[in-house]
Amino acid sequence: MGPSGAEHNNFPGDEVELVLRNKNVILIVLIAALFAVFPLMVTSGYYLGILVIVGFYSIVAIGLGLLLGYAGQVSFGQAAFYGLGAYAAAILSGTYGWPPLLALAAAPLLPAAVAAVIGQPILKLKEHFLVLATLGFGILVYILMKEFVDLTGGPSGYTGIPYLSIGGLVLSTDKQFFYLVWFLAFLTLVGAWNLVNSRMGRALRAIHGSEPAAEAAGIDTARLKLKVFILSAFLAGLAGGLYAFYISFISPSPFGFHASIQFVLMAVVGGAATIWGPVVGAFVIVGLIEFLRWAVPVVLPKAGGEFEIIFFGLILVLALLFRPEGIMSHKRRKQRSEPDAGKEAAGTCST
């Protein structure tokens, strides 16, 4: 049989080039341009501030999406990694006087190291136990943040985080942070895309499809899952470090269980098995929270606290009910019908 007859088969990696050629590139340029000019157009600091936060969350959610949608693992403790990154950046720069940029670069290493240590045993757990172990880990870290008062400032928070400066440029405005965080979010997106469309990405999807078969193909499934777990912790830590410098004052409360739930929601709502889905999820969830904080007090003037969790719960249940295969489903882009019977005969072995 000659080498011809398969010209219609495009090598999947050629999508890289295709992206540059086809209409997608226009879309991407448009979105990028929108992001670039957005800060120049808005006059309201409120919206800009929200978009900066969405940027942090997007980075966390992309990492969690890889873990959920590709490695098939769940983490209800992602906010702990986010918090560890924030405290590492704050304490290294504030208490130990590291240059802020160095502290920001080092911050993700703490959660990544923690993930490397706890990941090995925890990822062996299944179902309830994986859920509860990650959840328990998140709560434990949250308690430690509150209790190690000497280091973290305890429940009243940590003050004295210096401004982030890159070269001689001191980052102090929302606008500057907007560009920084979305630049990094974009890099994260590209990195995640690269990963998923590579030998490693195929291996991940294979684990998802059938773990025994993946092992039989020579894939060290436990190690690969661990790597994705570490990557997700690293990204959460990076976002946390950025958050610390942006907000300049941190306390344990944004790193608790509800934040972990929020991250899971972002990954789930947008579709965990797509790369940009979690980013969409971050926009949707943050938008929802802001809307509720505005709308609910209008209806219920007495409402206080994190009442938005009621909707988190409902959305989580609804999302799972209407995607019954579970949040870790791997929806393919194309839905194909069964090949017709005529084709069937063509597939027998040649002799």
Partner 1 sequence: MSPESQLLQYLISGLTLGSIYALIAIGLVVTFNITGIFNLALGEFVTLGALVSIALYAAGLPLIAAFALAVLIAAALGAVMERTAIHPARKANATILTLVIITIGVGIAIRGASLLIWGTHPYILPPFSEHAPFTVAGAVVIPQSLWVLGLAVVCVAALFAFFEFTYLGKAVRACVMNRTAARLVGINPQRLSLAAFTATGALGALAGIFVAPITFATYDMGFMLGLKAFVAAILGGVTNVPGAIIGGFLLGILEAFGVGLVGSGLKDGLAMIVMILVMLIRPTGILGAFRRGA
Partner 2 sequence: MLDVRDLTKNFGGLVAVNRASFSVNAGEILAVIGPNGAGKTTIFNLITGMLTPDEGEIRFQGRPLAGLKPHQIARLGISRTFQNLELFRAMTVAENVMVGAYTKGKTGFVRAILRRPGTTAGDRKRYGEALELLRAVNMAEYADEPAESLPFGLQRLLEIARALAAGPQLVLLDEPAAGLNAGESQALVAFLRRLREQNLTFVLVEHDMATVMDVADRIVVLNFGSVIAEGTPAEIRSNPEVIRAYLGEDES
284 neighbors 269 (Cβ within 8 angstroms): yes
Q: How far is the CB of 312 from partner 1 (least distance, A)?
A: 5
Minimum Å gap between C-beta 26 and partner 2 is 22
Three-class SS of residue 165?
strand
Provide the terminal-to-terminal Cα distance of the chain, rounded to the nearest Å.
Answer: 12
Q: Which of 109, 125, 206, 284 binds partner 1 (CB under 8 A)?
A: 125
In which residue are the tokens 């929806």 written?
Answer: 331
Among 152, 221, 251, 262, binds partner 2 (CB under 8 A): 221
Q: Compute the least distance from the CB of residue 315 to partner 1, in Å.
A: 8
Residues 80-139 that bind partner 2 (CB under 8 A): none
One residue of 22, 24, 173, 210 binding partner 2 per CB under 8 A: 210
Among 16, 132, 314, 318, binds partner 2 (CB under 8 A): 16
Task: For residue 225, give the 3-state DSSP assignment.
Answer: helix
Give min distance, CB of 137 to partner 1, in A: 6
- Vertex 57, ends 193 and 145: CA angle to 5°? 125
Q: Check residue 9 for interaction with partner 2 (CB under 8 A).
A: yes
Two tokens, residue 12: 């999947």
DSSP symbols for 32-79 = HHHHHHHHHH---HHHHHHHHHHHHHHHHHHHHHIIIIIS----S-HH
| Binding residue (CB under 8 A) for partner 2 from 23, 44, 338, 342 | 338
Site for partner 1 in 285-314 (CB under 8 A): 296, 300, 302-314
SS3 27: helix
Which neighbouring-strand residues pair with 302?
Answer: none
Residues that bind partner 1 (CB under 8 A): 74, 76, 121-122, 125, 127-133, 135-137, 139-140, 143-144, 146-147, 257-258, 261, 264, 296, 300, 302-317, 320-321, 324-328
